[in-house]
Copies of this chain bind each other. A is one copy, B any other.
């Protein structure tokens, strides 16, 4: 007999009252709640959104990452994102669409985080060290324990039944392999590696070890062990450390 009306959360009332005030203040005090882009405030016609889609999507991503697609209910999502179901549906579509959008956001976000490590001016070893450090930071992040890699853990689970998700997972894995292999080839051409090195094979090893780190992080393997694994893999594929 637990009625839905039994919510004792006062935030809705506050939010309703605050949103109008916040928007009004935004125009004068400059502290916008919706963060209008620096130069272009062509506001739309109707009632303004009470949330920023970007941060809501970020919350959704965290929720999906925590429990996976099926175990994350729309109630969970709506609570985590701080918006109610109709708004969610209106902005992001149904649950699956939201999942896809969250996944795309994850890919863009992580690609951006890995970008500095792929600077061609770095040595192979420096690049690998940065890649592993970035990966470990991503996989160990999360307010509710290490959340692993979305591609490897969350999306790959759905890849079985959803061809579209599967295609994205394929692309993500392939992209990882290809990017790292390219970096290995560059290193080989610059004499950092012996001339006939099998760069594709080494790249797959690096990819695999990163995936394994994602899995292990989810099993709560301590950070030090993950870092040790990264170091030993680097030594194996890039030659032992010079001293």
Contacts and interface: CB of A to CB of B under 8 A. Distances in A.
Contacts of A161: 66-67, 71
A218 B159 contact: yes
A156 B70 contact: no
B166 A220 contact: yes
B201 A156 contact: no
Interface stretch (A35-43, A90-98, A108-116, A204-212): A204-212
Nearest to A169: B219
A232 interface: yes
A120 B91 CA distance: 60
Interface of A: 66-71, 144-145, 147-148, 152-154, 156-157, 159-161, 166, 169-170, 173, 198, 200-202, 204-205, 207-209, 211-213, 215-216, 218-221, 229, 232-233, 235-236
Interface centre among A69, A71, A144 (most CB of B within 10 A): A71
Contacts of A156: 148, 153, 215, 218-219
Given A201-B233, A201-B235, A153 B147 contact: no
B215 A160 contact: no
Interface centre among A148, A160, A170, A211 (most CB of B within 10 A): A160
Given A170-B219, A220-B170, A66 B160 contact: yes
A71 B96 CA distance: 14
Give me the 3 closest cross-chain CB pairs, A-B, nearest first: A208-B212, A201-B232, A70-B70
B157 A219 contact: no
Contacts of A213: 208
Nearest to A144: B160
B204 A166 contact: no
Nearest to A149: B215
B236 A160 contact: no
Nearest to A172: B219
Contact of A204 (B170, B202, B220, B229): B229
B153 A219 contact: no
Contact of A160 (B67, B173, B201, B202): B67
A163 to B, nearest CB: 9
A130 B67 CA distance: 35
Contacts of A70: 67-68, 70-71
